[in-house]
Amino acid sequence: MRSDVDAVRCVGLQVCYSGVPAIDEVDLTVALGEVVAVLGASGSGKSTLLHAVAGLVQPSAGEIWLSGQRVATARRGTAPEQRDVGLVFQDFALWPHLTALDTVAYPLQRAGRSRADARARARTLLDQLDIGHLAQRRPAQLSGGQQQRVGLARALARDPRVFLLDEPTAHLDTHLRAAFQDSVRDRQAETGAAAVYATHDAGEALALADRVALVVCGRLVQIASPQVVYEQPVSVATAGLTGAFSVLAAHVSMPSAGVLAVDLGDGYAEVPGGGASDSRAVLLRPDWVGLGGPFRARIAACSFRGAHSDYALETSSGTVHMQLPGPPQHAVGESVEWGIRRAWALPGGTAGETAVQPSAVIAPG
């Protein structure tokens, strides 16, 4: 039975470039119909992982299985054209000499269909992605967003059991990303195939995926649902991958399961949360913090972001980032009371470390 078998299974995978491992000890399984986002910084090995699964690079250790068949070991690998995968490239990789229609028909022709037959099917795929009217254009005559839709259609044309998407939106403008992500999710749901989606964009990974795999320096450090990787990071490094956060020095204890008691010196709160019981540092996401509560702070910076405002609160335990809906309600320098709705005790974390994603940088004043 098709559904009993994992669509992708990597076991102890290692890929080296000139002797230096780009990814190492990667264990990853993706079920049929599942979307796994591989989230990591540039150069962390996301592309290498996808290329290894597609057969474009040879592992130096470990194994890759696709739909229950072993396709690669350190010794031998099945050729890319014989693997049941479709790959969408970061910089599109469209052939400059072929029209959009012929590009999408290409995999179908390689699979043995006649030219006319392949073109008919390609036209349907282009129509489904709302670019049917661009069928006769070549890549140079298409915008970035259109090119990547052609790239997606080409991957869809193989009708594979596994889609590999290698940072497909990295070169697209923000407003095109959402549209492209919608296309991916719709198509993936319809085909019921598995998808591995590499990205460095936290929002994209959390929104698209059933599970998120966090990659740091070529190693998978956490694989869990989007909510878990956001709320329960295993380290400061992985916390930074999934969004902005602050870390405060605190006395924490766990009075009961799922409840975290946080003592910041000037106040005390019991909130939903968890983490390491011996922790001396607590991690707070900007949306877990609000005005009014047991703690005291001075507003060090505040900036208006449209739908919400970002604040930097100066407390005796460190700086806290807070996100509140609407325009700023307090001026810089004002003293306020604040509280928390949720917290996470970091294992061995040190206080004072913060990571702020570019979109949440708080400008002074």
Partner 1 sequence: MPVRALRGISSRVSAQLLIAVALFAVAALVVVPLVRLVQVVVEGGGSSISRVLSAADLTAAEHSLELAVAVPLLAVPLGTGLALLLRHADVPCRGLLRVLVVLPLLIPQFVLGYSWTQAYGRAGFTDDLVGVHWSGLTGPAGIIVVLVVDAVPICYLLTTVGLATRAQPELELASRVSGATGWAALRTVTLPLLRPVLAAEIVLVFVATLESFAAPQVLGAPSGYATLTTRMYADLSRGSNPDTFRDAVTLALGLVLIAAALLVPADLVLAPKLRSSRAASAGGGQPPRRRGGAVVAALVAVYSILAVLLPTVALVAAAITRAIGLPPTPSNWTLGNFRAALDAPTREALGNSLQLAVLAALALTALGAIVAALERYRSGRLLGTLAMLTFAVPGSALAVGLLIAYDRTLGGTLALILLAYLAKFWALAHRTISGAVDRMPAGEWQAARVSGAGPVVAVRTVWLPGLAPALAAAAVLVFVTALHEVTMSSLLYSTGTETFAVAVLNSQQLGDTGTTAALSVTLTAVLVVIAVPAWLLLRRQAHHRVSADRVEMASA
Q: Which parts of this chain interact with partner 1 (CB under 8 A)?
A: 42-43, 51, 54-58, 76-77, 79-81, 83, 85-87, 89, 91, 93-97, 106-107, 110-111, 154, 157-158
Nearer to partner 1, 153 or 220 (CB): 153
The residue among 180 and 338 lying less far from partner 1, judged by its C-beta, is 180
Nearer to partner 1 among residue 3 and residue 18 (C-beta): 18
Cα separation of 46 and 244, whole Å?
A: 21
What's the angle, vertex CA 298, arms to CA 293 and CA 304, rounded to 5?
95
We find the least distance from the C-beta atom of residue 265 to partner 1, in angstroms, to be 42
C-beta of 51 vs 285, nearer to partner 1: 51
Q: How far is the CB of 84 from partner 1 (least distance, A)?
A: 10
Nearer to partner 1, 92 or 245 (CB): 92
Min. distance of Cβ 44 from partner 1 in angstroms?
11
Please choose, from the candidates 167, 90, 85, 168, the residue with its C-alpha nearest in 3D space to the C-alpha of residue 129: 168
CB neighbours of 320 closer than 8 A, spacing ≥ 6? 246, 248, 284, 289, 297, 312, 313, 338
**Distance from C-alpha of 229 to C-alpha of 22, rounded to nearest angstrom:** 23
- Shortest Å, Cβ 62 to partner 1: 15
Phi and psi, residue 116, nearest 5°? -65, -45
Work out how close the CB of 43 gets to partner 1 at its nearest, in angstroms, rounded to a whole number: 6
Q: Which residues of 181-218 are buried (b: 16+ CB within 10 A; e: fewer)?
A: bebbeebbeebebbbbbbbbbbebbbebbebbbbbbeb
Contact assessment for residue 353 and residue 235, using Cβ atoms and an 8 Å cutoff: no
**With respect to partner 1, which residue has the nearer C-beta, 155 or 281?**
155
Checking phi first, is residue 108 left (phi over 0); if not, alpha (psi -120 to 50) or beta? Answer: alpha
Give least dist CB 17 to partner 1, A.
8
Q: CA–CA separation, 268 vs 250, rounded Å?
A: 10
| Closer to partner 1 by Cβ: residue 54 or 362 | 54
* Separation of first and last alpha carbons in the chain: 61
CB of 270 to partner 1, least distance (A): 45
In whole angstroms, give the CA distance from residue 246 to residue 244: 7
